[in-house]
Amino acid sequence: MRAPLSWIRDFTPVEAPVDEIVAALNQLGLEVEAVEEPGRDVAGVVAARVLGVEPHPNADKLTVVDVDYGSGSTRVVCGARNVAAGDIVPYAPAGARLPELGVLERRTIRGVESDGMLLAPDELGLGDDHEGIVHLDRTTEAGADVRRLLALDDVIFDLSITPNRPDAMCIVGVARELAAHFGLPLHVPEAHAPTDPAVKSDITVGVEAPDRCPRYVARVADVRMGPSPAWLAQLLVKAGMRPISNVVDVTNYVLLERNQPLHAFDLDRLGGRGILVRLAKRGERITTLDGFERELETEDLLICDANGGPQAIAGIMGGGTSEVSDDTKTILLEAAYFARMGIARTSKRLRLRSESSARFERGIDPNGVAEHAERAMELFAEVGGARVAPAVVDEYPRPIEPARIRVRTSKVNRVLGTSLTDREILDALGPLGIEVSGAGDDIIAVAPTFRPDLEREIDVVEEVARRIGFASIGRTVARPEEQVGGLTKSQRERRLVADALVGAGLAEAVTIPLVAATELERTGAPVDRVVEAANPLRAEESVLRTRILPGLLRAVAYNRAHGVTDVALFEMGRVFLAPTSKEAVLPEERLHLAAVLTGDVRRRPVEPDRPIDAYDAVDIVNEVFAALEIADAKTQPATRPGFDPARAAAVVVDGRDVGVLGDVPPAALAALDLAPPVVGLEVDLDGLLGARRRDRTFRAPPPYPPSSIDLAFVVDEDVPAGAVAATLRDASGGLLEDVRLFDVFRSEALGPGRKSLAFTLRLRARDRTLTDDEVGEIRQRCVDAVAREHGGELRG
Amino acid sequence: MNLEEAQRLLDEAREEAGHAAETATGPDDLADLERGYVGRRSPVAVVTEAIKTLPIDDRRAAGKAVSDYKAAIAETIERRLAAIAASAHEGLPAGERLDLSTGSHGRTRGHLHLVTQVQRELEDIFAGLGYRVAEGPEVEDDWHNFEALNIPPAHPARSMQDTLYVRLGAEEQVMLRTHTSPVQIRTMETNEPPIYVVAPGRTYRNETLDARHSPVFHQIECLAVDHDITLADLFGTIEVFVKRLFDDESVRTRFRSDYFPYTEPSAELAVSCVFCHGEGCRVCSDTGWIELGGCGMVDPNVFEAVGYDPEEWQGFAFGFGLERIAMIRYGIDEIRRFFDNDVRFLAQY
């Protein structure tokens, strides 16, 4: 909210320098977002009477306006539409100075010379309203100084008020905080409107839903519609509102000053001369003042005329035929207190927010309603020549009592870490309007009803902290007495994995876990348990990922599009699968590790560069196996959706399938404008972290020499070399130290569909030197086993 | 042969070997030299053979002469070998030497994402203060993300956050977590106090990626619950943490009253600008201060939601964005940099 200092001073004589006031407001939690001092940079702007408006000869959206500025007349080009003959507007001649635009010069706009300009609020340094030219009181003399007319020599604090502090959304509330802070008196004069018994107030008010509308005050006055006087219009402009008419302006004035939303109805147009507050019927419609037709639900509260015709969505926005107009003679003023939740729900569902709804949903003062209506009546009489009916309708069947809160000095000190006395606590609270009595652990704080945030002891503790200031709180460090801090094993191992991948040359990516369903399908990710977003902004981000790879492929495309051709990325993150059991509501989240590689391995000038291939993915997964010391891990040729069937493998740990790697096929790449080779890897990291680890019991390195033998087998093409190696390992009975595939060979002599696999086996016993006989025996066992299990023949 | 003759023979051979070594150009030449001067037909072999014929009294001296000779030859060879090695490259024809100034077998180190680096740093600082690292699901239910945190339905605080809901359970009951605070609730639901944890992780908003918004970002949350945790503990802990984070003892902290439904009292946390030290610069928008996040004392309603007695236990919580810390520290201009995954960005860190 925007709070002009001159208005604040109506209630407390704060004279502190501006920077001290700003510091105070910030400390109190009324965050100052901006400080405007419009008068500082405005000079030479005068009031001018509009003599006539003509279209601009060369531009549809511009007009040429003749103005009388007191000591002469001239013409200016104007872009706003709200200017008509007879209006009094702020005019900045050439040579005038403005906050943003600086010193104005005469200029020619589309062939018409403009002698200065007419001003919108923002050009005068008042907020950011650029919608139209400011209108000054019509009785203003042309030539008068606008700086004085608008009282621009003021300071405006633009405050950001947290949702728990509705009381601070008005000038009196801000003044109360400052008065407390600076130790100044706060004086809010009691309103008193002179009444006229001649004005009839034969109105009826019926409240069908008192739980939703606990209080409804209605007042009647005969009014003379017209513009507001300058002082009122000025304050509204400075507070960021546009003056409309004296009646509407007064309702806005009281809203800003006292935090009381008001609504003025044209009583003569209210059917049955009365008000009925009722819940809407399902499907009932109302066109609100912003021009939109709204369909209502039975939880929405309506303000209707006595015949039941909807006139407003309670507390949010008007929308009936009884809005005030220039012809209005008599008004019915509504001042109400609506239940917070109801307003919040309706406002949220209709996506309709207003100055009123923002205040009602946070909570206004139910016990200030009548007084604030009186304030409005006083102002109607003062600025609108209104004659106020004496009768006051006040439907308030169950008055809301202020909260009585027990506060313990010991608790205050225990929470804040202070050693405040009873007196210090009482002194802190009193100036906020909180009535305090008692002592020690029996202080009673009666919270004013304009502070709905004060309900519990802790709420009062916070008020004490705010008042004494956080700077006066001590500084200590809490440490656990018994707990040893640090990471869990799983957390440490995840760091290990990431570090291993970084060592292997990959950069860590973080992709957005929201993708398109088609993307999952295209890349072979599971789609049977997809979790859909309920309110996505874009189709591309409408489901939760079931694999990380689609996001990494997008990242590859981004890099390729930016001329980066060698890309090696990994990501560790969650994937999401819809729950399978009836009881579970949350999806299953699994931690995955994915990597993607594309481009070349750069080895020049030592050796030729070579394109990335699926073996690079094998290397990467082996790095991870090594980092985690997985005991039983292998990659096994396999066909998996989303991978080239000829160039893919399953990642198998402890005999369980935990992932897949291989070439991403061209079909999946084409959609992203990518070309092969792109190699992918996706592993269920939770599964991997749960795998059996290598035995770390110490074994002395054997001092005996090794024996090496070479064996070449001819096997069918579909026998994986890894499987043969495993057989060799088993057959050598623990004496095999290392087995290495050193050659793969195909020839006509071997025949079609056959290949030769040549292995070197290094054998060593822990306790002796192996004899030639023993080595020969192992060799034979290996030959037999490969023949038995893979149909392999020893190649001579 | 008498002792004198033997001695002379050895001395002459030794001198000759010295000259011969000078002309040796490699290990092979020196191996030949060794064979010639200490081998089977060398002068020393002759002398050794002759020792038996010497008078008993001279044999000892002759033996010493032989071993001195052998040591001298060995030393001559070693010295020459070292000299050859030292001067080897001088003699190398151009092109035979590896130019190791550039080129490699293609192995380069990768990079941890900047957010991960910041996260690890924070985890380690808190581990040093005795905290553990807690985790929780990224898809949450209404209870953990809102209700238990004292944010009932239609609470104004809900409209402060653009929540992305998913189609599970009843309408608007399951969502991508909007903050890491639900981990507080889960930690307290499954553990008895005292509690000292930090919870880093991904959080979500229903926003489209651009310069200042991202549908995903990271937060870290700190929670301490013990018998007598105070607001002073909160402020003091933040102060020591911030000094470590920026590795600067002169960093000052500022707390201003703020509002969060799950803490009371609540404060906004700012640190003195680490670039201009409070003078005012572009990074701090000339204010001298940089806002880091929010903090406060755990609201009693939150304790009640998890079944802790608010009379027995008190606690504090604070949290902030990891991207924000990285942006401040390295002057990064837009949040989208973290999620574009541009290799040129990732490789900078």
Q: B256–A470: do the CB atoms touch at under 8 Å?
A: yes
- Do the chains contact at B259 and A163, CB–CB below 8 Å? yes
Q: What is the pLDDT of residue A197?
A: 92
Which residues in chain A are closer than 8 Å to B140, comparing Cβ atoms? 586
Q: Is residue A616 over pLDDT 90?
A: yes
pLDDT grade for B284, boundaries at 50, 70 and 90: confident
Average pLDDT over residues A279-297: 93
Report d(CA A595, CA A369) in Å as an integer.
Answer: 64
Output the six-digit token pair for A170: 């008005």
Facing B110 at nearest CB: one of A465, A473, A501: A501
- How many interchain CB pairs under 8 A, A with B? 272
Res A124: pLDDT: 85
Proportion of chain B above pLDDT 70, given as a percent: 94
The ipTM value here is: 0.85
Mean pLDDT of chain A: 93
The partner residue sitting opposite A477, judged by closest CB among B172, B240, B266, is B240
Least Cα distance to A304 among A280, A282, A283, A288 occurs for A280
> Terminus-to-terminus CA distance in chain A, angstroms?
93
What's the confidence (pLDDT) of residue A773?
94
Give the chain A residue whose CA is nearest to the CA of B297.
Answer: A415
Nearest residue, CB atoms, B343 vs list A165, A559, A604: A559
Dump pLDDT digits (tens) for A323-342.
999 999 999 999 999 999 99
Residues in B touching A488 (Cβ below 8 Å): 132-133
Min Cα–Cα distance to chain A from B132, Å:
5
Residues 48-107 of B with CB under 8 A from A: 102-107
DSSP A693: B
Classify A458 in phi/psi space as left (phi over 0), alpha (psi -120 to 50) or beta.
alpha
A512: which chain B residues are within 8 Å (Cβ-Cβ)? 209, 214-216, 339
| CA B303/CA B300 separation, integer angstroms | 5
Q: Are residues B174 and A477, on separate chains, in Cβ contact within 8 Å?
A: no
Region of residue A351 (left: phi > 0; alpha: psi -120 to 50; beta: else): left
Cβ distance A488 to B130 less than 8 Å, yes or no, reads: no
Yes or no, beta carbons of A478 and B255 under 8 Å apart: no
How far A544 CA lies from chain B's nearest CA (Å)?
9
CA distance A336 to chain B (A): 20
pLDDT at A433 over 60: yes
- Residue B107 pLDDT > 60: yes
Q: Using CA coordinates, name the residue in chain B closest to A499.
A: B112
Residue B297 with chain A: CB contacts under 8 Å = 415, 458
Do the chains contact at A458 and B300, CB–CB below 8 Å? yes
**CA distance linking residue A475 with residue A480, whole number of Å:** 17
| Partners of residue A479 in chain B, C-beta under 8 Å | 129-130, 196
Nearest alpha-carbon partner for B237 in B136, B164, B131, B321: B131
A368 neighbors A359 (Cβ within 8 angstroms):
no
Pick from A151-160, A376-385, B48-57: least confident: B48-57
Lowest mean pLDDT among A209-213, A746-750, B228-232: A746-750
Cβ pair B339:A511 closer than 8 A:
yes
Burial per residue of B27-47, b for 16 or more beta-carbon CB atoms within 10 angstroms, e otherwise: eebbeebbebbbeeebbbeeb
Chain B hits for A555, Cβ within 8 Å: 340-341
Residue A692 distance to chain B (closest CA, Å):
24
Instruction: Say whether pLDDT at A719 is over 60.
Output: yes
Chain A: nearest CA to B34, how far in angstroms? 32
The partner residue sitting opposite A537, judged by closest CB among B112, B208, B347, is B208
Q: Would the CB atoms of B343 and A604 count as touching at under 8 Å?
A: no
| pLDDT category of residue B160 using cuts at 50, 70 and 90 | low
Query: Looking at the predicted structure, is the pLDDT value of residue B206 above 60?
Result: yes
In whole angstroms, give the CA distance from residue B267 to residue B275.
Answer: 23
- Facing residues of A570 across strands? A508, A595
Interface test with B, best of A297, A361, A473 (most B CBs within 10 A): A473
Tens of pLDDT, residues A78-123: 988 888 888 899 999 988 999 888 898 888 888 888 888 999 888 8
3-state class percentages of chain B: helix first, strand second, coil last, to nearest 5: 45, 20, 35
Work out the angle at residue A662's Cα, subtended by the Cα atoms of residues A656 and A668, and round it to the nearest 5 degrees: 120
The C-alpha atoms of residue A142 and residue A145 are separated, in whole angstroms, by 9
Pairwise CB contact (< 8 Å): A341 & B154:
yes
- Whole-number pLDDT of residue B89: 60
Measured between beta carbons, which residues in chain B are less than 8 angstroms from residue A552?
341
Q: Would you state the pLDDT for residue A791?
A: 93
Percent of chain A with pLDDT over 90: 78
Q: What is the pLDDT of residues A476-488, one digit of tens each?
A: 999 999 899 999 9
Name the residue in chain B with its Cα closest to that of A542. Answer: B166
Give A636-672 as a 3 state SS string. Answer: EECCCCCCCHHHEEEEEECCEEEEEEEECCHHHHHCC
Any idea what the Cα angle at residue B128 is, between residues B126 and B134, rounded to 5°?
A: 40
Picking from A202-216, A593-607, B227-241, which range would have the lowest pLDDT averaged per residue?
A593-607
Evaluate if residue A223 carries a pLDDT over 90: yes
Cβ <8 Å between A512 and B156: no
The predicted structure's pLDDT at residue A60: 87
Query: What's the confidence (pLDDT) of residue A675?
Result: 92
A790: confidence class by pLDDT, cuts 50, 70, 90: very high
Minimal Cα–Cα distance from B210 to chain A, Å? 13
A513, B340: Cβ pair inside 8 Å? no
Interface test with A, best of B99, B166, B301 (most A CBs within 10 A): B166
Residue of chain A whose alpha carbon sits nearest to that of B208: A537
Say what the pLDDT of residue A491 is. 97
Q: How confident is the model at residue B91 (pLDDT cuts 50, 70, 90)?
A: low
Beta strands per DSSP E along A599-647: 600-601, 610-611, 633-637
pLDDT at B39: 87
Q: Identify all chain A residues contacting B239, using CB atoms and an 8 Å cutoff.
A: 475
A-chain residue closest to B216, CA distance:
A512
Largest CA distance in chain B: 119
Round to whole Å and give the CA distance between B315 and B229.
5
How many whole angstroms separate alpha carbon A244 and alpha carbon A249? 6
Rounded (10°) CA dihedral B186, B190, B193, B194: -70
What pLDDT, on a 0 to 100 scale, did the predictor assign at position B156?
A: 63
Q: What is the mean pLDDT of residues B277-290?
A: 82
Kindly state whether B127 is in contact with chain A, defined as any CB-CB distance less than 8 angstroms. Answer: yes
> Nearest by CB to A505, which of B108, B338, B344?
B108
Which residues in chain B touch residue A297, judged by CB atoms under 8 angstroms apart?
none
8 Å CB contact of A531 and B259: no
Is the pLDDT confidence value at A276 over 80? yes
Contact flag B265-A465 (C-beta cutoff 8 Å): yes
Report chain B residues whose CB lies below 8 A from the CB of A462: 257, 264-266
Cα–Cα nearest to A67, from A137, A118, A134: A118
With beta carbons under 8 A apart, name residues in chain A contacting B300: 456, 458
Q: Quick one: pLDDT at residue A744?
A: 93
Answer yes or no: are the C-beta atoms of A158 and A86 closer than 8 Å. Answer: no
State the amino acid at position A426 in one-letter form. L
**Class of residue B98 by CB neighbours under 10 A (exposed 0-12, middle 13-18, buried 19+):** exposed
- A477 with B266: Cβ contact below 8 A: no
pLDDT surpassing 80 at residue B116: yes
Please give the Cα distance from B81 to B32 (Å, whole number): 13
**B106 contacts on A by Cβ (under 8 Å):** 601-603, 609
Q: Which of B106, B110, B229 sits opposite A502 (nearest CB)?
A: B110
Average pLDDT, chain B: 90
Region B238-250: what's the mean pLDDT?
92
Mean pLDDT for the stretch of residues B321-341: 93
B103 pLDDT more than 70: no
Nearest to A635 by CA among A557, A717, A545, A725: A725
The mean per-residue pLDDT over the stretch A177-190 comes to 96
Mean per-residue pLDDT for A413-421? 97
Q: Please list, in sequence order, all residues whose beta carbon lies within 8 angstroms of the beta carbon of residue B55, skipping any fewer than 6 positions away.
A: none
Chain A's closest residue to B296, CA to CA, is: A462
Two tokens, residue A258: 């006292």
Q: What confidence score (pLDDT) does residue B106 get?
A: 65
What is the distance of C-alpha A788 from the center of its chain?
Answer: 66
| Residue B39 token pair | 């081998």
Average the pLDDT over A516-532 and give the result: 93
Contact A504 B110 (CB under 8 A): yes
Contact residues on chain B for A589, CB-CB shorter than 8 A: 137-139
In this structure, are residues A260 and A369 in contact, taking their beta carbons and an 8 Å threshold? yes
What CA–CA distances, in Å, run from A557 to A268, A613, B337?
A: 68, 18, 16
